[in-house]
Structure 1
């Protein structure tokens, strides 16, 4: 099976609306118009409701008369970009006074040219609807894969609690007043490691048509727990780099949420997988493949001596498998291929116990042998310690016997890249 695919389709009307060009003017260059009109998600973060989180963040207080600058790295090329903001967990509309996008510099600084002011239906300000989302108009900005951009949002009023992504492993910056157009970092005197409202950046107009995106869907191991801040060392980052090194570049989107569960919702850890799968996977423009690596929290939270999720139900293998089947069905209904990753070894972690051992073995056996996934990456075996298949290889262990370190994330990405590019299936 070859999971390396190229997107096809047309969107002539969308381009004419975005560009303002009359239909007759677009006809002679129809092939170019089709390519330019297609939007491709180049970066994403899964939205979460405001919460205390694992380290200080600004989500519960929100923003008032402040600018917040967020730096993200794209994995697709384009000549125009647009941003998507999420107020999914906001009970009331939030007034965005204005926003800009620019090439990122060092820290909170941006390159002097160009700083692009964003518009929303032609206006500089807009409301983020309650429990909804807002997409900007396209703006000309040529970007390349692995290029970082800075999005600056200014809220003249008070937002209330902010929809955010808790564990960004990237630094976001805050300043008092309107500093959307600042290129220097001087005013941005506060920092945090979360993303706020910003949930996606799309591109269009790349020189070459982008291949279908890979969405990596999971929990803290996908989110990047244990990776260094501002280093882009999460396994999805590494996967994008390794695909490019193999000559098979694809956009890679990170839909991980630390602590997330297949079967249950959590105030800290986000909506359960089936509840957020459409928003975080199926609705991402250009998605062709999803890698599912999730379930260790469903199994392990009930084993923890000092749980962060209570009450933690005792979950059976059959219940977890039913959850996986739900995700596979949703993806296949939209023509998206699903790669199943076995759960990594986690003996010795706070998630481990007799029940966890039994259920994880049964779940991994089903992932390997059921044939229900389009492809399987056996991370359980690939990441195991020599001499004990239940233990994470010490060379890959961040120290908690559950989450990989940087070398572990690189190794994971290598195994997944090999599967995505394999033609001998």
Structure 2
């Protein structure tokens, strides 16, 4: 009889400074102190912007004029000069924000006293985004520690039409009527939501060559079947590993998973090929894309062929390389037992995984299939890692997938960025798995 060896149920402990966003000078120490200061290779250097949180943009419901949002997000890498990116990418008309603030979340909708500060755009407290546009704020002086919950509060007097945001947040945020963005208490934020609206990225300034990885994926990367409000998506676990590691200068993690996403064709959101620039390559400090997609292409009707899916993977890699960014790819995890599974889709999955493992497609490979499959039926998720629907891993499965990522493989991009933050194109071909 096979017995289960339980996986740990908590994220690794990381020593975090308890600090608020303030105008005080940035502390020189890293967020997770190490015995010899900070031994990460090449850690010191001129600071630059690095994405510390992101979420894939998709179309939500209709906007409501006069509504305020308090959006709770977990930053990955700490740093100074925080900036937020607001989005109207899926909107069909302009939207104005007349108050945007950022502070450290204490609990619920309450903020750490004194941390809630106004965010400006070109020096103004009001910004209007045309349909399809995104905008970064001005830098907010002060330091934000890694691994903390940030609350971004925003108010729109004229919101209408489709809201751009992220539907499967797995994180409680708050809404209210009227502009309550300046309030740090939770008293006037009674209504909870499980989505993020109008916010799709947060960046900080960190010492060069600190970089970030974008996890580009579907509902598995989005965290479906992981415990809500506990940050147990596999990219969260990866971020905790990176903060605790001295093996890499990659610390930022941008979770760009969207439920139902496919590599080749659009659905409820643009395909990975169509959103690659917006959701990955446009984010500052990105060194590597970690692509965990393909199962939705296989279980579509009709499903993608192996040649088509592999061609899609290679197109992602070619465009990323042209931007000086590497791509780590994952094998497609098993999904037997899901209603859309059939023998034809399984045969394509096995063919795609065999080619990916051989090398020559990606710069490195994370073998999601190997770590998640059942030893007794490799076409199925392990029953000890299955979230219950035979497609999505549970908390332990999320941990197993994150722990399968070789952190040193994320240090694969080309030379340093130029003054505009662009990296030189990669000249080397993709290698075998690292």
Q: Same fold (TM over 0.5)?
A: yes
Per-residue CA deviations over 1:236-256 (Å, capped at 9, x if unaligned) read 000111223333461111111
Are 1:367 and 2:366 matched, yes or no? no
User: Could you tell me how far apart the structure 2 residues matched to 1:285 and 1:256 are?
Assistant: 18
The corresponding residue for 2:370 is 381
1:76 alignment partner in structure 2: 77
Alignment of 1:240-251 (within 5 A): 240-247=239-246, 248=248, 250-251=251-252
CA distance in 1, matches of 2:315, 2:357: 17
Aligned to 2:409: 420
- What is the deviation of 1:49? 1.6
- Secondary structure of 2:66's counterpart equals strand
Task: Report the counterpart of residue 88 of structure 1 in structure 2.
Answer: 89
Alignment match, 1:43? 53
| Correspondence 1:301 to 2:290 | no
C-alpha contact 2:303 2:345 (8 A) present in aligned 1: no
Tell me the equivalent position of 1:147: 148
The answer for the alignment partner of 1:280 in structure 2 is 279
The DSSP-based 3-state class of the residue aligned with 2:58 is coil
Contact 1:175 1:190 in 2 (8 A): yes
Displacement of 1:101 in angstroms is 0.4
Query: Following TM superposition, by how much is the alpha carbon of 1:67 offset from its aligned partner in structure 2, in angstroms?
Result: 0.8
> Would you say the 8 A contact 1:243–1:417 is kept in 2?
no
Q: 1:22-421 residue pairs with structure 2 within 5 A?
A: 35-36=46-47, 38-50=48-60, 60-204=61-205, 206=206, 208-209=207-208, 211-247=210-246, 248=248, 250-266=251-267, 268=268, 270-302=269-301, 313-417=302-406, 420=409
Whole-Å Cα distance in 2 between the matches of residues 132 and 355 of structure 1? 41
User: How many Å apart are 1:419 and its aligned residue?
Assistant: 5.8
Residue by residue over 1:136-179, the C-alpha shift from the partner in whole angstroms, topping out at 9 and shown as x without a partner, is: 11111311110111000011223332111111111121011110
Q: CA deviation at 1:117?
A: 0.5
Classify 1:342/1:419 alpha carbon distance in 2 versus 1 (closer, same or farther; 3 Å): farther
Distance 1:387 1:255 in 2: 32
Q: Give the Cα separation in 1 of the matches to 2:311 and 2:179.
A: 49
State the TM-score, normalizing by the size of structure 2: 0.82
Q: Is the 8 A contact 2:45 2:208 kept in 1?
A: no
Is this contact kept in 2: 1:239–1:417, CA < 8 A?
no
Do the aligned residues in 2 keep the contact of 1:297 with 1:351 (CA within 8 Å)? no
Q: Cα–Cα, structure 1 residues 411 and 98, in superposed 2: closer, same or farther, change >3 Å?
A: same
- Checking the alignment, whether the CA contact within 8 Å between 2:68 and 2:176 is kept in structure 1 is yes
SS at 1:167's partner residue? coil
With structure 1 as the length reference, what TM-score do the two structures score? 0.83
Deviation per CA, 1:276-314, whole angstroms, max 9, x where unpaired? 001111111011111111010111133xxxxxxxxxx33
Aligned length: 370
SS at match of 2:202: strand
Distance 2:209 2:204 in 1: 10
SS for the counterpart of 2:186 is coil
Q: Distance in 2 between matches of 1:422 and 1:334?
A: 15
Take 1:189 and 1:121, find their aligned partners in 2: how far apart are those partners?
Answer: 32
Give the CA deviation at 1:332: 1.0
C-alpha contact (below 8 Å) 2:288/2:410 kept by paired residues: no
Counterpart Cα distance in 1 of 2:410 and 2:192: 39
Deviates more, 1:63-72 or 1:244-253: 244-253
Q: How far apart in 2 are the matches of 1:422 and 1:135?
A: 27
CA offset at residue 209 of structure 1? 3.5
In structure 1, the gaps of 5 or more residues are 1-32, 51-59, 303-312
1:61 is displaced (CA, Å) by 2.4
